[in-house]
Structure 1
């Protein structure tokens, strides 16, 4: 049985589970088109995650993909945290504001406890995936016993091999072109491999099915990935301007107007690709000190964005986007999927 049959899909297209942007309506709409709808729950509380899952399942009883973060929770160093607060102080002062006195761990990890695991076992999605690392062995075993398929993001060959050795069902090959956070297990190590090259590399050394992610914007891109060994593709940026996306109006506007992206760890504490913003022009200077660790850095970034946006400046927003954002099309979800299928056939 191939991957599409296991997932009960008509088309080899996964919606990228974009935390903060994905909605129950968008996930359901994608699934109703025969592709795989997804919810990015890494930034959600258990209660919020349950609400989103149940809302999606109420709209559509088709396949559903949930995503969580498996980052290593760290104990912050007070000195480095204060250095980062001081670095961003001038940005706050531009808006006559003061930065926070301390930074908080705003996103829990799936590894920290089994609360999210119990939620997954309760709601029984088709697939659950993980970013930044691999779940604990007992968590993987519980998901397997429940008949829930698993997937983990890999940005290089070693990560892919560790994923396969852990008994994960699917490898998500995330190329350097991908928008949003890099899935690196260690944020200090990024092989920066192009999506097509990463798919070929993993295909040559691993036996798990591969889902390609990064820079995929049209049917020709999908066909290329399938031809070199991927079983499906995962697309995020292409769906950001869809009606049921939760992207802010200023975010949507920027996606349709800007064409340049850059990777920075300044926004969240982990490398992530976004539209060129103040972070890249003002903060990512050669003299920049070490960024506070993830997700503490994201805490102050969100506060800075909130302050700035109240003054009409949205340049501190986390406007995640892939390297091929210039190819984005202002289409709603169903229209986009139908267009992708037409392009795949030609």
Structure 2
């Protein structure tokens, strides 16, 4: 398949620059896989489409203040560092700008309490950076780092917690699993109270999720690996749900990558952890999920390709055309889709 097959027209003013005033008051486009019917609702109406025998699977990763600004030692050149994957206590894979000026051996100072030395250039132009600090790294990062918002969002939100899900628990992501931003504690309680199980997985969002596709033949694209975990209780509940013919509804593409990685060999889902570089595009057979809660994705992105695999490219792009016509808000702080 061609990269150009996943393009669509989006007016710039539909790119959401801030979240809805209340999380569950964003709009919800419901797309039915069988038949392709569309419904236009509010997100809080999602409870009407989730049945007691279903299971809702969430990604409880938490975004860290992964963007750092420093100066190249010796020249004072301003350097942006985006932390992506932690290798060990002191070492991270990072995206560095401007990268061409940062060879191995470069020392970057981020103030008196933090510095880093570039140890190697990795695939995709990433740098391996070993940091030096005295306090706990997480505390230093809280003081010096900032929320790594996507480049199409031009300002930081007034409340940084609006770029975290209400169930975020485990720090490690460089971007939010944004499909979950619409849930409130009250809405989650309403879903549980009707008998639906809600279980967590973990996938730390890194370069694999938002790295652009640069090849016209999408089958040549290679995903960057991201760390994931599926706890024992989550595997058990999903298997029980499948046994009683309930649906597994994933909240977001990151949750989907996690589940489909674990289930790629078929059979019962087992608790596991590791690194996934799974790339899902049309032609893929889903083995675990039956539906998905998701946001509207960038043209030509791997996320758009994944959703196309679930519902069909033409059907999805028609739904996106309707969303544009009805002035839905797109991308991270935008509105949501439910595909069932």
Q: Which structure features the higher share of helix residues?
A: 1
Larger-Rg structure: 2
What is the TM-score normalised by the length of structure 2? 0.26
What is the TM-score normalised by the length of structure 1? 0.26
